Amino acid sequence: MKVVYYDYGGAHSSVLAASLHTGALSGERRPTAAEIRRLPHFDQATPADHGRLTYIGDAQPGVEVYVLGCRRYHTIARRALRGIALAYGIPHDDLVMTDTLPGVNLAMRLGGVLSRGLGLVTIGRPLVAWGTRKGFLNIKRIVDRTRGEVERRLTRVAQERGVSPSPAPLATRPGPKVLYHCYGSSHSSVVASAIHTRKLPVRRKPTPEEVLALPHFDRVSAKLLGTVFYIGDDRDGREVYIVGLATGKHILVRAINDLVKSYGLPDGSLTMVNSLTAANWLAKLGGFVSRGLGLPWWGRPLAVAGVLQRYYSFIRLVEGVVPRLSLDGRVSLPDNEQ
């Protein structure tokens, strides 16, 4: 089982919570500010660390504890990580994600901005440590609730299996997968994945009706950002998925890749492709008008027209991905925006 404490930057409330959960910090008394500052990873994360799953320790055999800084993409990150775990057959009970931001007070926010955001460590770090000490009981309550949830899940798993739940589960669908991502999983990722799975032609442009008939095309609500949708298998048996990552793709791609690695899956198990690189301004404008402004009768035709204008770019995108995929997971293709 994995427990992920997440907040904005992965530097303060999540670190304190994870340290409490693993026993690195005692919860029997309020720690001093100096003890808080000495915690590994406390007030250390930089923007380059956002989206990284940082291992803190084991709470008990088989229960690993991590921290994650995901900026303002909390809900999207939670959906995306859970969706990827399920795509690999990891049971829902194996991934516990806890938001520690409800335990953050004003002093912690201000100190974090000064230290991590503006680089004024000498001013910000003492302030955020003082604020963390003041907010200790709030964060401890979050940890206590998470521990209770972990115990309930472990008990449920033990009852279902009839065995000790401590060994970490293995992925039951470890085969290589392809994940096309865009802003909202409604347009470019839908088209690219449909080409990849041969639901759209590769020797001609489709008709507007063929594009509009695709499941998910111009239909995914903003409320579902981060949801991982299975599209189908390609001709070599690879599973193809789509996801919308809004404007947080650089952060969320890191988090997804780190989660896959944390389960011990081989390199190349997951290939992430930014399908927005094949889209033009017309498709993006149509998507915004239809999904963003809620005017599909205006936006949908624009999105389709943009897709058809750039259709051969989508084909080239997919054709550039497929030859480099590995059936045995030994070759990985970096995200094409890197």
What pairs with residue 232 in β-bridges?
240
Q: Residue 200 — very low, low, confident or very high, per pLDDT cuts 50/70/90?
A: very high
Determine the angle formed by the axes of helices 74-87 and 249-262, rounding to 10 degrees.
40
Q: Residue 155 — very low, low, confident or very high, per pLDDT cuts 50/70/90?
A: confident
Instruction: Tell me which residue has tokens 């791609």.
Output: 253
Close Cβ partners of 221 (under 8 Å, ≥ 6 residues apart): 291
As a whole number, mean pLDDT of residues 314-326 equals 82
Structure tokens belonging to residue 312: 């051969």
Q: Residue 332 — very low, low, confident or very high, per pLDDT cuts 50/70/90?
A: very low
Asked whether 306 and 285 are in contact (CB, 8 A), the reply is: yes
More confident residue, 36 or 323: 36
User: Per-residue pLDDT tens for 295-310?
Assistant: 999 999 999 999 999 9
User: What is the pLDDT, as a whole number, of residue 266?
Assistant: 84
User: Per-residue pLDDT tens for 219-252?
Assistant: 999 899 999 999 999 998 899 999 999 999 999 9
CA atoms of 145 and 151, how far apart (whole Å): 10
User: Per-residue pLDDT tens for 253-302?
Assistant: 999 999 999 999 887 899 999 999 999 999 999 999 999 999 999 999 99
Instruction: Tell me which residue has tokens 């899940």.
Output: 153
Percentage of the chain beyond pLDDT 90 is 81
SS3 for 58?
strand
User: What is the pLDDT, as a whole number, of residue 156?
Assistant: 86
User: What is the pLDDT, as a whole number, of residue 334?
Assistant: 40
CA atoms of 155 and 159, how far apart (whole Å): 6
User: What is the pLDDT, as a whole number, of residue 327?
Assistant: 44
User: Per-residue pLDDT tens for 74-100?
Assistant: 999 999 999 999 999 998 899 999 999
pTM over 0.85: yes
Query: What is the SS3 string spanning 234-294?
Result: CCCCCEEEEEECCCCHHHHHHHHHHHHHHCCCCCCCEEEEEHHHHCCHHHHHHHHHHHHCC
More confident residue, 157 or 44: 44
